[in-house]
Amino acid sequence: MNIVILAAGQGKRMQSALPKVLHPIAGKPMALHVLDTARKLSPKNLVMVVGTGADAVRAACAADDLRFAEQAQQLGTGHAVMQAMSLLASAENNSATLVLYADVPLIAAASTGDVAVLTVEMDDPTGYGRIVREGAAANDGRNGARDGNGAGAIVRIVEQKDASPEEKRIREINTGIVVFPTAFLAENLPKLSNQNAQGEYYLTDLIALAVQAGIPVVSAQPADAAETMGVNSKTQLADVERAYQLRQARALTESGVTLADPARIDVRGSLRCGRDVRIDINAVFEGKVELCDGVSIGPNCVLSNCRVAAGAQIKAYSHIDGASVGKGNLVGPYARLRPGADLGEDVHIGNFVEVKASSIDDQSKANHLAYIGDAEVGKRVNIGAGTITCNYDGVNKHRTVIGDDAFIGSDSQLVAPVTVGRGATLGAGTTLTKDAPADKLTVSRAKQLTIDAWRRPEKKPK
Ligand code: UD1
Ligand code: CA
């Protein structure tokens, strides 16, 4: 089979500088969603028609198995398919061509027929092409293609802007998913006219041509109407996004994940969950995220490209990006784990603690207000409130090494490169510029003194 994806349209109704088909659903351009689906059908030829913002669309979609056809002027969907014909490998006589629209992103892999149209009934069909069928009484069965639901055979598709008031009342619409015999396309595309309300060559006019040629036109209905939602405006983009997210939320709950509210989770990538995972409201997952058995995610957390090992608890308002959270860790509330943060088992990272490119070994704790960057922290280390690794000298980054069982007093600055020995203690407020020896107390603060003779100034009475 050949697959042609139409992605050249202007998308005026989006009111955006970004080409319509690059607007994201779940963080991924619509066109890429459609490409994923197309690939599931292992097409012999996969072609995308580009035009508006062609360079950007090509750059976003480029792949070895995909060829592009350029539609210099957007003269309609029929004209768009015509631009792809030369790439459909000699239009072998009995091959079929499936047409997909890049602005119908949730479509699932559909099967083929002679001329087959995927249709759906919509409560509000405004904007879509309507499926005109022979009236039940008038149907003489010429096409022999009555649908299972007993409706008359398809006669033609009429676009919203060309439809009579009566036709506008038809609720069965064209999803835009159509399969044609390739040879039929080659023969009939040149016959299309643009004498219609939009002055475009409508692909959908091929249906009437097929009927006239006595080629059976069959239709199929998708199981889930959300699959066929088209995106022409930001409103529809938002509707499709919600439909997509709800579908992902359903898949998660079906697989045993507990969601506080399936309407308040956003997965923009892939989320893998073990058993007994709980996710509170407003969690956002980006890229590849893995939550192992028994993990709980508090409200308002953002997790990107990370792994959270079994039993870890991520508390409210935490932000985790490119980090690895260990077994049984307690993270947050308000924690920030940045790329390269690698936490061992039973590590505690508390509120307003930021960790970057650092390993923190088992049972170590940084519970309040700290920055740990480019550091190697051993086991059972206690990092006091306000501790900062001064890893940057304005030009280069330097490492801090803290041995097992060290105790870093509150409000210390570790000026890297520097090493704190095993079991060492730093007194509160230490500015460490030289290595601290193992098992000793190191303090750098000025000695405390009390001035006996000092008196507080007093206001003179007037
Ligand atoms: C189209 C169908 C309509 C259907 C609806 C489903 C036609 C004439 N109408 O209407 O029957 O109900 O989709 O969502 O086909 N495109 C090009 N080149 C062009 C014009 C469009 O590549 O010259 C591409 C667009 O990028 C888009 C797709 O074709 O991906 C559909 O075009 P659009 O203008 O959005 O058609 P609709 O009015 O939505
Ligand atoms: Ca559309």
- Nearest CA-CA partner of 388 in 357, 410, 362, 365: 410
pLDDT, residue 114, reads: 74
Partnered with residue 300 across adjacent β-strands are none
Ranges of beta strands (E only) in 335-442 are 336-337, 342-343, 348-356, 359-360, 365-373, 375-377, 382-383, 388-390, 400-402, 407-408, 413-415, 418-420, 425-426, 431-432, 441-442
* Parts of the chain with a pLDDT under 70: 89-93, 109-113, 136-150
Ligand 1 atom 3: residue of nearest CA:
129
pLDDT at 222: 86
Mean confidence (pLDDT) of the chain: 93
168: Cβ–Cβ under 8 A, 6 or more apart, which residues?
125, 130, 160
CB hemisphere CA count around 328 (13 angstroms): 9
Q: Which atom of ligand 1 is nearest to the CA of 202?
A: 8
Mind telling me the catalytic residues?
368
Which tokens go with 97? 């061509």
Statement: the pTM of the whole predicted model exceeds 0.85: yes
List the shell of residues around ion ligand 2, using CB closer than 5 Å.
103, 230, 232
Cα-to-centroid distance, 241 and ligand 2 (Å): 15
Query: Residue 152 Cα, ligand 1 centroid: separation in angstroms?
Result: 25
Cα distance between residue 293 and residue 415, in whole Å: 39
Atom of ligand 1 nearest to the CA of 79: 23
Q: Provide the pLDDT for residue 226.
A: 86
Q: What is the pLDDT of residue 90?
A: 63
Under DSSP, is residue 204 helix (H, G, I), strand (E, B) or coil?
helix
With a Cβ cut-off of 6 Å, ligand 1 is lined by: 6-9, 21, 49, 51, 71, 74-77, 79-80, 101-104, 128-129, 157, 159, 173-176, 202-204, 230, 232
Helix, strand, coil share (%) of the chain residues, nearest 5: 20, 30, 50
Q: Which ligand is nearest to the CA of 237?
A: 2
What does the alpha-carbon distance between residue 154 and residue 174 come to, in Å, rounded to a whole number? 11
Strand 302-308, strand 319-321: pairing: parallel
pLDDT tens column, 301-330: 999 999 999 999 999 999 999 999 999 999
Spacing, Cα 223 to ligand 1 middle (Å): 22
Q: What does the DSSP assignment read for 401-427? A: EE-TT-EE-TT-EEESSEEE-TT-EE-
User: Rounded to 5 degrees, what are φ and ψ at 436?
Assistant: -100, 125
- The pair of structure tokens assigned to 191 is 């016959």
Distance CA 224, CA 363 (A): 49
pLDDT digits (tens, 9 = 90+) for 107-133: 876 555 578 899 999 999 999 999 999
Task: For residue 50, give the ligand 1 atom closest to its CA.
Answer: 22
